[in-house]
């Protein structure tokens, strides 16, 4: 009886083992089944080209049209003048901006003038005898010579013989040396090239000024220039002399500007052209950021999309057979948030929202979303 029970139990254990083995094998097979590939869900929109009236709004920084950096061409100690050389001080054309002590240079100039005067005087007796027809002209030159005034031009010679005589007396060399000293002397007084205002002053009276040192900055506040960058495809809508509305962002101030010039070069990186607009009026200051509003032309067969969708500046992702594909487009106009492009065919399905880690050929799951 015991033997029968033992045999039955053994058979039962063997059967249970076989069953358990098959069960475990099935579980391992289920676990080894390949996982389903996860696809990114994207949003798309369908292209429908249309005509757009493009109004250009570009911003730029205002700079003075007439602006001068003031540098010293001579060396010396800065002296006081009738006006202080400080930022905000206005000067009329020709007024002295900076005066540099020039006593040594002035003394050399006066000495050289005296040498010239003596040389011309010394040739008068010879001229009376050998060149009587020229004597009176040179005599009047000596009579009118004023050592405290700029030296006048030498009289013209009437013959080669007279010219050789004057040259041999070293008069021409002395004259031009003296003229050069006069030019150097004038550089000790730096005068305003036009009526304007000092915007930067780097020296004060008593400062030792060195040759080539920057002393300050001077501008004409009556007219300013606004520099903006316009897409080269829109340049045809602008011309020199054209009126342009200019406004200050965040305020109701506005001015009428005029296109002064258009650069002839296209920026290779941005495909834009620089346009310069002259602006006059109250409330303008150098450094202000202003917006220029230009009425552009009407463009056909274009499409507007989010500027963030651009890839490399001139491509966007389209969807073909549930895969991403890069398509080249031409940017017609840019705003702060959108771009107007051409080169897309009606009915093309494009990605309407950014896809993290996107690449050409990437498989995606499309969820169409109507463009807002």
DSSP-derived pairing of the beta strands 76-79 and 208-209: antiparallel
Residue 238: is its pLDDT beyond 60? yes
The owner of tokens 């050389």 is 85
- Distance from C-alpha of 43 to C-alpha of 114, rounded to nearest angstrom: 91
Residue 109: is it exposed, middle or buried by C-beta count within 10 angstroms (0-12/13-18/19+)? buried
Provide the pLDDT for residue 97. Answer: 95
In the structure, what pLDDT confidence band is assigned to residue 371 with cuts at 50, 70 and 90?
very low
Residue 370: is its pLDDT beyond 50? no
Both ends of the chain: CA-CA distance in Å?
Answer: 87
The owner of tokens 């109004």 is 55
Dihedral sign of CA atoms 293, 294, 295, 297 in order: negative
Q: What share of the chain is helix, strand, coil (3-state, %, to 5)?
A: 30, 35, 35
Crossing angle between the packed helical segments 160-168 and 171-186, to the nearest 10 degrees:
70
Interacting residues of 209 by C-beta distance below 8 A, sequence separation 6+:
72, 74, 75, 76, 77, 78, 98, 100, 203, 215
Residue 128: is its pLDDT beyond 50? yes
Nearest-10 Cα torsion for 227, 232, 234, 237: 70
Picking from 312, 34, 351, the residue whose alpha carbon sits closest to that of residue 364 is 351
Instruction: Beginning with the edge strand found earlier in the chain, give each strand of the sheet holding 315-320 in spatial order.
Output: 323-328, 315-320, 349-351, 40-46, 364-368
Question: pLDDT tens for residues 165-209?
Answer: 999 999 999 999 999 999 999 999 999 999 999 999 999 999 999
In the structure, what pLDDT confidence band is assigned to residue 70 with cuts at 50, 70 and 90?
very high
- Distance from C-alpha of 184 to C-alpha of 178, rounded to nearest angstrom: 10
Numbers of helices and strands, H then E, in the chain: 6, 21
Q: Which residues pair with 279 in a beta bridge?
A: 224
Residue 217: is its pLDDT beyond 90? yes
Question: pLDDT tens for residues 336-352?
Answer: 788 888 889 899 999 88
Provide the pLDDT for residue 314. Answer: 87
As a whole number, mean pLDDT of residues 306-326 equals: 89
In this structure, what token pair is assigned to residue 123? 């040739």
245 and 292 in contact (C-beta within 8 Å)? yes
Residue 216: is its pLDDT beyond 90? yes
Q: H or E segment at 45? A: strand 40-46
How far are the Cα atoms of 1, 199, 214, 319 from residue 72, in angstroms, in the given order?
A: 128, 17, 7, 65
144-153: long-range contacts, CB 8 A cutoff, minimum separation 24 = 145/117, 145/120, 147/110, 147/113, 147/114, 147/117, 150/182, 151/113, 151/116, 151/175, 151/178, 151/179, 151/182
Provide the pLDDT for residue 372. Answer: 42
58 and 291 in contact (C-beta within 8 Å)? yes
Q: Which residues pair with 227 in a beta bridge?
A: 276
Q: What is the DSSP letter of 44?
A: E
In this structure, what token pair is assigned to residue 89? 């001080």
Which comes out higher in pLDDT, residue 235 or 120?
A: 120
Provide the pLDDT for residue 289. Answer: 92
Question: pLDDT tens for residues 86-112?
Answer: 999 999 999 999 999 999 999 999 999
pTM over 0.85: no
Residue 369: is its pLDDT beyond 70? no
316: number of Cβ within 10 Å: 24
328 and 315 in contact (C-beta within 8 Å)? yes
Q: What is the DSSP letter of 14?
A: H
In this structure, what token pair is assigned to residue 356? 């993290």
Q: Which residues pair with 224 in a beta bridge?
A: 64, 279
């Amino acid at each position: 009886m015991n033997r029968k029970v033992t045999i039955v139990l053994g058979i039962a254990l063997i059967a249970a083992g076989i069953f358990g083995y098959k069960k475990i094998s099935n579980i391992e097979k289920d676990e080894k089944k390949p996982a389903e590939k996860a696809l990114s869900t994207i949003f798309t929109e369908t292209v429908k080209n249309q005509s757009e009236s493009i109004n250009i709004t570009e911003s730029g920084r205002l700079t003075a049209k007439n602006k001068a950096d003031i540098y010293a061409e001579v060396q010396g100690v800065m002296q006081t003048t009738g006006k202080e050389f400080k930022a905000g001080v206005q000067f009329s054309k020709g007024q002295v901006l900076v005066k540099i002590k020039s006593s040594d240079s002035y003394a050399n100039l006066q000495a050289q003038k005296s040498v010239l005067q003596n040389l011309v005087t010394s040739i008068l007796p010879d001229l009376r005898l050998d060149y009587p027809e020229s004597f009176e002209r040179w005599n009047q030159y000596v009579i009118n010579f004023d050592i405290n005034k700029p030296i006048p031009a030498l009289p013209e010679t009437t013959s080669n013989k007279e010219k050789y005589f004057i040259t041999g007396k070293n008069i021409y060399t002395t004259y031009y040396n003296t003229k050069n000293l006069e030019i150097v002397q004038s550089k000790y007084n730096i005068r305003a090239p036009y009526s304007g205002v000092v915007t930067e002053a780097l020296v004060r009276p008593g400062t030792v000024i060195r040759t080539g040192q920057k002393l300050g900055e001077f501008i004409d506040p009556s007219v300013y220039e606004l520099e903006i960058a316009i897409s080269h495809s829109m340049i045809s809508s602008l011309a020199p002399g054209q009126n342009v509305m200019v406004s200050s962002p965040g305020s109701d101030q506005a001015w009428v500007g005029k296109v002064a010039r258009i650069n002839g070069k296209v920026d290779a990186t941005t495909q834009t052209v620089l346009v310069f607009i002259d602006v006059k009026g109250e409330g303008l200051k150098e450094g202000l950021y202003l917006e220029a509003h230009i009425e552009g032309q009407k463009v056909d067969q274009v499409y507007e999309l989010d500027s963030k969708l651009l890839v490399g500046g001139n491509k966007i992702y389209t969807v073909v057979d549930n895969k991403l594909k890069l398509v080249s487009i031409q940017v017609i106009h840019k705003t702060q948030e959108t771009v107007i492009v051409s080169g897309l065919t009606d009915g093309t399905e494009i990605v309407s929202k950014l896809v993290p880690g996107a690449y050409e050929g990437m498989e995606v799951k499309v969820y169409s979303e109507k463009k807002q």
